[in-house]
Homo-oligomer: A and B are copies of this chain.
Amino acid sequence: MTTLHGLPVAPRQRRDVPAFHHSVDVVVVGFGAAGTCAAYEAASAGASVLVLERTGGAGGAAALAEGILYLGGGTPTQVAAGVTDTPEAMEAYLLAACGPAPDRAKIAAYVAGSLEHHQFLCDRGIEFQPTIDAETQMAPKGTDGLVWSGGENAWPFTEVAAPAPRGHLAKTVRSTGWLLMKTLAEAAVAAGAVVAYDTRVERLILDGDVVVGIEATRYGEPFFVEAASVVLCAGGFIYNDAMVEAYAPELLRGTWKVGTEGDDGRGIAMAMAIGAATKSMHAGEVSLPIIPPRRLVEGILVNGQGQRFINEDTYMGRVGQAALYEHDATCYLIVDEAAYTPNWMGLEATWVCESVEELEREMGLPEGALAATVDLYNRHASLGEDPQFHKAADYVRPLVPPLGAFDLRPGIAPYAPFTLGGLSTTVDGEVLHLNGSVIPGLYAAGRTTSGVCSFGYASGLSIGDSTYFGRLAGRRAATKL
């Protein structure tokens, strides 16, 4: 028998509920990036809001994350940092970066709302320092508020749109994800949302085909909540190996899961169990965090055949996806002395040799393969060009032996995956049935849904779309009052 999800996700009919413990306008499942924002907006709209959070505290995966928010189109932070950006450039970039089959409606809404969402965050007390750290695609060491978090300044996106750094980070000396979530959780509570911690949802409650509440477990006992609207903000499924195997088996080779144990997919599965449609369940972000320092991209990345396969200066999530989905998770970084340094996490060259021939032999690559790759690369690099993979000229120069190679295979290098697929929803967070209709009473946001990223990714898009569409879902859920 196929191993399955092992979650008790079949719905319960209202007539089978002995008694409801609570009755509210809006119940929000999960108090992470999407849930805090949904709860804030629903409560601000006047709804009575109960949040069910399975852990003992707020924040979800976002509180453990670097907390980058992908925002642009000319935010005040960008403008103050001297960055030129437009909504058109941001949208063109996202359409190119988030495919194949990008969700055009969500991308359009996300771009259109970006300045307002930036303001919303600032109004809650988040400060973005208007300076850029160009060295990293992740959180800076300092308090710079902007990073190039999606390869906007590298091929192919340079051919698609004027590049701009759009990764926004809250100013703090501690984790920005923690600060962001602390701020948003406090805002939700201040707006009137009530949070029940240590409360794990189990299944939806239906009246016919209408969602009218949710069943949870609290202190070992069933806990029934009646609600006009249920908003699922329960994260993704990277911590459910059976679901990952069924939908995105490539991610099983990821070594460093991004998320919490709560990302077991139950929010997705309990909606699927009543006919909710999903999208892009095979998609996963897979960061392979090689840099900083950025000068490492003066080297070349090769696969198990000693071939290059991507421009090294692109977003590391694109490198990780390509390595894991397309190159059998086999990847090496070849550098010379001028480019060499241990990377930010202390990874060092596994092999160092006087010649490329010796190096490929040590690495066990096919004879002559790496030499052919380096020869071709160097021939173009001596002209400052990379016609095969289009690395930017700044990082293109011939590699000079001795050469070193970082072993970037799983188990040695971290592949940091999380799931991007989830429920199909409207822009306003209504969950869609397989037949195309809206499921009455059910809303979702965050990684419980398929968001702006159908497959491709940039850092900050998950917390970005979770918070933004979490707000829209909370607002729409409250309109049923």
Q: Which residues of B contact A435 (CB under 8 A)?
A: 4-10, 269, 273
The contact string, 1 if C-beta is below 8 Å from chain B, for chain A 364-389, is: 00111100110110011000000111
From A38-46, A275-283, A312-320, A403-411, the one touching the partner chain is: A275-283
Contact indicator B105/A2 (Cβ below 8 Å)? yes
Q: Which of B252, B372, B373, B387 is within 8 Å of A367, CB to CB? A: B387
**Interface residues on chain A, size class:** 35 or more
Name A119-134 residues within 8 Å CB distance of B.
Answer: none
> Is A246 in contact with chain B by the CB < 8 A criterion?
yes
The contact string, 1 if C-beta is below 8 Å from chain B, for chain A 86-110, is: 0000000000000111010100000
Q: Which of B4, B246, B306 is within 8 Å of A280, CB to CB? A: B246
Q: Which residues of B contact A305 (CB under 8 A)?
A: 308, 388-389
Q: Which of B2, B372, B387 is within 8 Å of A366, CB to CB? A: B387
A428's nearest neighbour on chain B, judged by CB, is B1
> Given A249-B100, A277-B2, A9–B434 Cβ distance below 8 Å?
yes
A343 to chain B, nearest CB (A): 26
> Is A427 in contact with chain B by the CB < 8 A criterion?
yes
Contact indicator A272/B9 (Cβ below 8 Å)? no
> Is A245 in contact with chain B by the CB < 8 A criterion?
yes
> Is A197 in contact with chain B by the CB < 8 A criterion?
no
> Is A296 in contact with chain B by the CB < 8 A criterion?
no
Q: Which residues of B contact A280 (CB under 8 A)?
A: 246, 249
Work out how many copies of this chain go into the complex. Answer: 2
A200 to chain B, nearest CB (A): 15
Q: How far is the CA of A252 from the CA of B427 in the complex (A)?
A: 24
Q: Which residues of B contact A466 (CB under 8 A)?
A: none
A396 to chain B, nearest CB (A): 13
The contact string, 1 if C-beta is below 8 Å from chain B, for chain A 266-309, is: 00010011110111111000000000000000000000011110
Contact indicator B272/A434 (Cβ below 8 Å)? yes
Contact indicator B246/A278 (Cβ below 8 Å)? yes
Q: How far is the CA of A368 from the CA of B246 in the complex (A)?
A: 42
Name A163-199 residues within 8 Å CB distance of B.
Answer: none
Contact indicator B6/A436 (Cβ below 8 Å)? yes
Contact indicator A247/B434 (Cβ below 8 Å)? no
Q: Which of B4, B250, B327 is within 8 Å of A424, CB to CB? A: B4
Name A135-178 residues within 8 Å CB distance of B.
Answer: none
Q: How far is the CA of A437 from the CA of B10 in the complex (A)?
A: 10
The contact string, 1 if C-beta is below 8 Å from chain B, for chain A 415-438, is: 000000000111100001111110
> Is A207 in contact with chain B by the CB < 8 A criterion?
no
Contact indicator A279/B2 (Cβ below 8 Å)? yes
A223 to chain B, nearest CB (A): 19
A272's nearest neighbour on chain B, judged by CB, is B434
The contact string, 1 if C-beta is below 8 Å from chain B, for chain A 432-447, is: 1111110000000000
Q: How far is the CA of A252 from the CA of B2 in the complex (A)?
A: 28
Q: Which residues of B contact A1 (CB under 8 A)?
A: 105, 426-427, 432
A265's nearest neighbour on chain B, judged by CB, is B434
> Is A351 in contact with chain B by the CB < 8 A criterion?
no
The contact string, 1 if C-beta is below 8 Å from chain B, for chain A 238-255, is: 000000011111101000
Q: Which residues of B contact A394 (CB under 8 A)?
A: none
Q: Which residues of B contact A454 (CB under 8 A)?
A: 249
Q: Which residues of B contact A373 (CB under 8 A)?
A: 372
> Is A455 in contact with chain B by the CB < 8 A criterion?
yes
> Is A116 in contact with chain B by the CB < 8 A criterion?
no
> Is A256 in contact with chain B by the CB < 8 A criterion?
no
Q: How far is the CA of A418 from the CA of B441 in the complex (A)?
A: 36
> Is A337 in contact with chain B by the CB < 8 A criterion?
no
> Given A249-B100, A282-B281, A4–B372 Cβ distance below 8 Å?
no
Q: Which residues of B contact A279 (CB under 8 A)?
A: 2, 246-247
> Given A9-B275, A249-B455, A376-B372, A434–B2 Cβ distance below 8 Å?
no
> Given A2-B277, A9-B434, A388–B375 Cβ distance below 8 Å?
no
In the A-B complex, the 9 residue pairs with the smallest Cβ-Cβ separation, listed nearest first, are A282-B282, A101-B249, A273-B275, A366-B387, A4-B436, A326-B326, A366-B388, A2-B424, A100-B249
Give residues in A with beta carbon < 8 Å to B. 1-2, 4-10, 99-101, 103, 105, 209, 245-250, 252, 269, 272-275, 277-282, 305-308, 325-327, 366-369, 372-373, 375-376, 379-380, 387-389, 424-427, 432-437, 450, 454-455
Q: List 14 A-B contacts (CB under 8 A).
A: A1-B432, A2-B277, A4-B433, A4-B435, A4-B436, A5-B435, A5-B436, A101-B245, A272-B272, A272-B434, A275-B275, A325-B325, A325-B326, A372-B372
